[in-house]
Amino acid sequence: MRVLTKALGVSLLSASLFALVGCGGQDKPAASSQTAQTSQSAPAKAEPIILRAGHDSPETVPVAMGLAKWAELVNERTNGAVQIQVFNNGTVGSASDYAVNCQLGTLDIGAVNQSVMTSFISDIAAVDIPYLITSYEEADKLFANNGPLTQYYTNEIAKAGINIINMDVWEVGFREFTNSIRPIKSASDISGIKLRVMDSKIHQGFWRALGADPVPMSWGEAYTALQQKAIDGVENAISVLDGNNINEVNQYLAMTDHNYSSIFIIFSEKSWNKLTPEQQKIVQESAREAGKFEREEQRRQAKAAVDNLAKKGMTVTEVNKEEMKAAVASFLEEQKAAYPEIVKVIDNTLAK
């Protein structure tokens, strides 16, 4: 009987322990199930919107630095929800490609020179008229801080229905002339020199009026063309000439200041519509802030570039600008007459 009782006691004890262990074992899966449900109900973090921006020149030139600044501001102010990736050196095409690809939505952002933009908005060509804008002070009144000319062209682009939005107009600077043939001291010295120009009738007409042989080509092709002696010279903003080591292929630099060059920061409408209104506001405001930084950097580099190129071995000459204007006076008046509205905006703004 004792044996039976003892055995029964052992059996009851084992059963109790089994029940306790069993209960403990059931608690763990229940907790895991709750964790899984919590994990499943938590919303996944949205993937960031990546915007690709194309530009022609090295990362050291002012426009490229402005794009990098813009990318930094947008990333910071959207907490990484919107990110701009900058592709310099024409790695995603040329400026004309940027404009078309932004239209198609295959590129998000392009830094496109004013001359290229004339293919879409014809009266942007007015800014290409040599000696129309003659100082940085005048340029600031017209373009900086969403100035009258920036507003005019931004509105015109918006109304054109070309699937492009203009964020801002930045600065390339005053254009100078380099070549490998001779030092330029007067307008007559330019005669016969074959130079790369943008695909602009005004640019081509200006140099042709001076007796030069202008050859339209993208800036990305110019250095190789100079190496191969397919052309003798180029014209561009001094900071771009320095940033692209033009001294390696051209010996002579002439300070002609013949044209103020701007660059449009365009945005694909298709890409723009992917952003929330709040993100759009951040992107727009950051573009203008980056534009202010870019102008300051351009002028800093422009000031240093002449000395840099001289130290690198280039012969630097000053050119009589009044003589240059006089040599092409009829051409300049003809061009102004073709763009009365833009000339009016410029004259009214500068008169204030």
% of the chain beyond a pLDDT of 90: 79
In a domain, 285, yes or no: yes
- Residue range 101-124: average pLDDT? 94
Mean pLDDT of the chain: 89
The tens digit of pLDDT for each residue in 185-221 reads: 999 999 999 999 988 899 999 999 999 999 999 888 9
Residue 83 has pLDDT above 60, yes or no: yes
pLDDT at residue 15 above 60? Answer: no
- Interval 139-153 mean pLDDT: 97
User: Which of the four pLDDT bands, split at 50, 70 and 90, describes residue 57?
Assistant: confident
Q: How many residues in the chain? A: 352
Higher pLDDT, 52 or 1: 52
Task: Tell which phi-psi region holds residue 211, choosing left (phi > 0), alpha (psi between -120 and 50) or beta.
Answer: left
262, part of any domain: yes
Spatial CB neighbours of 233, under 8 Å, sequence gap ≥ 6: 177, 178, 179, 180, 181, 193, 194, 195, 196, 226, 250, 252
Q: Is the CB of residue 109 less than 8 Å from the CB of residue 51?
A: yes
Longest Cα separation, the chain:
133
The CATH number assigned to the domain holding 310 equals 3.40.190.170
Mean pLDDT of 71-76: 98
pLDDT score of 288 more than 60? yes
Task: Please tell me the total count of domains within the chain.
Answer: 1
Q: Which residue has the tokens 């507003």?
A: 151
Q: Is 18 part of any domain?
A: no
- In whole angstroms, give the CA distance from residue 95 to residue 186: 32
CA distance 63 to 172: 7
Query: Helix crossing, 340-351 with 148-159: angle to 10°?
Result: 150
Amino acid present at 51: L
Structure tokens at 110: 């392009």
Q: How confident is the model at residue 43 (pLDDT cuts 50, 70, 90)?
A: low
pLDDT at 251 over 70: yes
Beta strands at 49-54 and 82-87: parallel, antiparallel or unpaired:
parallel
| Residues with Cβ within 8 Å of residue 231, at least 6 apart in sequence | 194, 195, 196, 215, 217, 222, 225
Chain segment 115-138, per-residue pLDDT in tens: 889 999 999 999 999 999 999 999
Residue bearing the bigger pLDDT, 51 or 17: 51
Residue pair 332/129 in contact (Cβ under 8 Å)? The answer is: yes
**pLDDT-based confidence at 102, cuts 50/70/90?**
very high
Domain enclosing residue 221, as ranges: 49-351
- Confirm whether 27 is domain-assigned: no
The answer, yes or no, to whether residue 181 has pLDDT greater than 60, is: yes
Question: Could you tell me if residue 43 is inside a domain?
Answer: no
In a domain, 1, yes or no: no
Residue 159 in tokens: 């109304």
- Rounded to whole angstroms, the Cα distance separating 290 from 154 reads 17
Residue 16: what pLDDT?
41
Segment among 133-137, 197-201, 227-231, 314-318 with least mean pLDDT: 197-201
Task: Map tokens 């951040």 to a residue.
Answer: 282
Q: Is residue 347 assigned to a domain? A: yes
pLDDT at position 115: 85
Of residues 280 and 220, the one with the higher pLDDT is: 280
Residue 95 confidence (pLDDT) above 70? yes
In a domain, 146, yes or no: yes
- CA–CA distance from 128 to each of 24, 56, 163, 206 (Å)? 83, 19, 24, 10
